[in-house]
Structure 1
Amino acid sequence: MKIRSRVLPRAILLASFVCGGLAVGQSAQAQVSVNIAIGVPPPAPVYEVVPAPRPGYVWAPGYWDWDDHHHKHAWKKGRWEHERPGYVYESPRWIQSRDGWVLVPGRWDDHHGKGKGPKGYHCPPGHAKKGEC
Structure 2
Amino acid sequence: MKSSTRLLIAELVLAAAGVLTVAASASAAEVILVPSAPPPLRAEVMPAPRTGYVWDRGHWRWDHGQYVWAPGHWQRVRVGYHWVSGHWAPRGPNWVWVPGHWR
Choose between structure 1 and 2 for higher RCO, CA contacts under 8 A separated by at least 6 residues: 2
Which of 77, 82, 97 pairs up with 1:103?
A: 97
Deviation at 1:99, TM superposition (A): 4.9
CA RMSD in angstroms, aligned pairs only: 1.6
Letter in 2 for 1:56: G
Q: Does 1:79 align with 2:65?
A: no
Q: What is the aligned partner in structure 1 of residue 56 from structure 2? A: 60
Runs of 4+ aligned structure 1 residues displaced above 3 Å come to none
Count of aligned pairs between the two proteins: 86
Which of 31, 35, 45 pairs up with 2:31?
A: 35
SS at 1:86 equivalent = coil
So what's the TM-score if we normalise by structure 2? 0.75
SS at 1:41 equivalent = coil
Deviation at 1:32, TM superposition (A): 1.3
Letter in 1 for 2:85: S
CA distance in 1, matches of 2:19, 2:93: 8
So what's the TM-score if we normalise by structure 1? 0.59
Q: Percent identity?
A: 38
Letter in 2 for 1:54: R
Q: Which runs of 5+ in 2 are unaligned?
A: 1-17
| Deviations 1:34-86, CA, capped at 9 Å, x for gaps | 2121111000000110111101111111011101x2x1101110001101110
CA distance in 1, matches of 2:66, 2:19: 14
When you count strand as a share of all residues, which structure comes out higher?
A: 2
